[in-house]
Amino acid sequence: MNRLLLLPLLLLACSDRDLCTEAPLCEEGRAINCEPSCPVGPCSTGPSILSCGEEAACTIVPGDLASPRFFRSRALCVEERSASCDPTTAGPPVCLGDGLIRGCSEYKRVIRASCSQAVLYFQDIACCSGAAPADGGVPDGGSPDGGP
């Protein structure tokens, strides 16, 4: 009888689920977004999935419809202890290493994102550009940057 119960579960686990039709999506502590078309890169043909970790929670945040760049609603890894922030007065985001960036995003939340997707969330992504990050971290790609 247990085998009969497992079969539907196995079929669901192996389904060809299209996460891009469901995005933005928060699922099991992960932020899932898709960029089928965009005014600035990176566009993608598949989902972008970021695990939020222990210090952040996935939250769906509405975009700014007046912004040509930050108009989409997004699933974001929002720092749990942060309040709303103002990106025009906040300091620049910092790179955390392991290809991650943290700071006050254009979505007015302190978030963590991957450097490969940083341009979709921040105006200033200098620490992810391959130049030495201000915090002495590593640029996206994981190789040491020789920072201070």
Q: Which amino acid is at 108?
A: K
How, if at all, do strands 56-61 and 48-51 pair?
unpaired
Question: What pLDDT is stored for residue 18 in this prediction?
Answer: 86
CA distance 114 to 106: 15
Is the model's pTM score more than 0.75?
no
* pLDDT higher at 146 or 80: 80
CA distance 16 to 13: 9
Question: What pLDDT is stored for residue 147 in this prediction?
Answer: 34
CA distance 116 to 103: 15
Q: Using one digit for the tens of pLDDT, what is the confidence trace for 80-114? A: 887 789 999 999 999 998 899 999 999 999 999 99
Question: What pLDDT is stored for residue 98 in this prediction?
Answer: 87
